[in-house]
Amino acid sequence: MEQFTIQVKGSSSDPYELTFIKDGDNLTALCTCPAGSFGNLCKHRVAVLDGKSAAVLDDDKAKVSRAVEWLAGSDVEKALVELRKLEATPDTSNDALVAAKRKLARAMNT
């Protein structure tokens, strides 16, 4: 098992901490923001897994590519791809999007 953390700017004056844990094909992504702390989907984890480093503090920007590498082949990647497909489909119901977001949050938290 391997793990690392990334500090990101959020709405709080203190940065939030994202923790990524890789255990085989399982990827866990945790965030200390209010949404992440309650096990909900948060924009910080999704942004990093999408390869975006805008909110990442300077010392941690290089870790974004590592998170993206760990995403490949994981259960989190499957759930994220499913969400992206639903988001790209114009007639997707809000209920379907909510369900896909919950599935992604569960995948990240296990």
Q: What is the pLDDT of residues 56-102, one digit of tens each?
A: 998 889 899 999 999 999 999 999 999 999 999 999 999 999 999 99
Helices (H), the chain: 34-37, 43-49, 63-71, 75-88, 94-108
**Is the per-residue pLDDT at 10 higher than 90?**
no
Q: Which amino acid is at 103?
A: K
Q: Which residues contact 56 (CB under 8 A, 6 or more apart)?
A: 6, 7, 8, 9, 48, 63, 64
- 15, 23, 75 from 8: Cα distances, Å: 5, 23, 24
What is the model's pTM?
Answer: 0.91
Angle at 110 between CA 69 and CA 43, to 5 degrees: 60
Residues shown for the chain = 110
Q: Which amino acid is at 101?
A: K
